[in-house]
């Protein structure tokens, strides 16, 4: 058990908290990384209540110094990371237009119309940083320790937007497309170090932020949610637990030891359905 040490970024979120809890049940010592300590502590408390080992480490994954400090704490208290789950990321409202195609009114900053030309480029850049560099930097920092030990497993978080841009999420789609490319590149690069690198691309799962976009005040699907569900053959949103099997297969050296550089959609069939 001494070499079963998992680092989970974005561990306070809906999806990665479930992954962290499952890893702890398997006997992993789990380091929980995120920007909000209160969210991490909630996950840690659940793990410890079931006799697991968890360490909360506040960190900004898009900042190299912050991640290096987190690594030093983790290696001092738990040991060297053997499994890295890069789940930190997300979007911001100021990087989202409220229209799906160009409208002349956005050029005049007309009230109620927010198009591409009304967005904050600083926020646009921040979305790219948290999703791309927020994946690259933990791989750079924790991957170096893995390479020294000649073993390790990295799982990055891609998205449906990695395959095709979805309206209103340009920055996020650009970033998540980059995650897939980086996953392939890093898998080839780290193969001699016996480190496998793959990615999971969740379909549409509800979390605290998306719930406000997908459900109205009475809990019914919004127009955008209905559109998504109409393109999802299984006709529902995913549940966090439905990512666990994919994660466990990818980190299993016996059953997936020859698997690296791939991105696996867990999407209820979304990518298979063009909507016509």
Active-site amino acid positions: 172
Please, are residues 273 and 233 in contact by the beta-carbon 8 Å criterion?
Answer: yes
What Å distances lie between residue 253 and 5, 178, 199, 236, 249, CA to CA? Answer: 15, 26, 16, 32, 8
- What DSSP letter does each residue of 131-150 carry, written as one string? IIIHHHHHHHHHHHHHHHHT
What Cα–Cα distance (Å) separates residue 159 from each residue in 45, 129, 142, 204, 258?
29, 16, 23, 9, 23
Lookup: tokens for 38: 């209160």
What CA dihedral angle connects 201, 139, 85 and 90, to 10 degrees?
-60
Spacing of C-alpha 45 from chain mean position: 22
Structure tokens at 227: 């559109």
3-state DSSP assignment of residue 100? coil
Contact 63, 141 (CB under 8 A): no
C-alpha angle with apex 153: 149 to 155, nearest 5 degrees? Answer: 150
Q: How far is CA 75 from the centre of its chain?
A: 23
């Amino acid at each position: 058990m001494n070499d079963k040490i998992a680092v989970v970024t974005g561990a306070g979120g809906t999806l990665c908290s479930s992954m962290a809890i499952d890893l702890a049940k398997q006997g992993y010592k789990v380091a929980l990384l995120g920007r909000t300590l209160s969210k991490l502590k909630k996950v840690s408390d659940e793990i410890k209540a079931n006799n697991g080992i968890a360490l909360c480490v506040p960190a900004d994954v898009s900042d190299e110094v912050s991640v290096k400090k987190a690594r030093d704490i983790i290696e001092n208290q738990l040991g060297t990371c053997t499994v890295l789950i890069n789940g930190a990321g997300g979007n911001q409202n100021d990087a989202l237009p409220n229209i799906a195609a160009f409208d002349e009114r956005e050029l005049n900053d007309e009230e109620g119309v927010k198009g591409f030309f009304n967005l904050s480029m600083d926020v646009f850049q921040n979305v790219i940083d948290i999703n791309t560099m927020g994946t690259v930097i933990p791989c750079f920092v924790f991957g170096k320790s893995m390479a020294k030990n000649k073993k390790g497993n990295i799982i990055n978080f891609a998205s449906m937007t990695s395959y095709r841009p979805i309206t209103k999420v340009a920055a996020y789609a650009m970033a998540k497309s980059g995650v897939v490319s980086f996953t392939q590149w890093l898998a080839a690069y780290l193969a001699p170090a016996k480190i496998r690198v793959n990615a999971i691309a969740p379909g549409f799962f509800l979390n605290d932020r998306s719930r406000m976009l997908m459900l109205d005040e009475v809990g019914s699907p919004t127009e955008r949610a209905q559109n998504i569900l109409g393109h999802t053959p299984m006709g529902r949103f995913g549940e966090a637990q439905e990512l666990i099997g994919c994660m466990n297969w990818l980190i299993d050296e016996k059953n997936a030891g020859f698997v690296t550089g791939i991105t696996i959609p867990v999407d209820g069939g979304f990518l298979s359905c063009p909507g016509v």
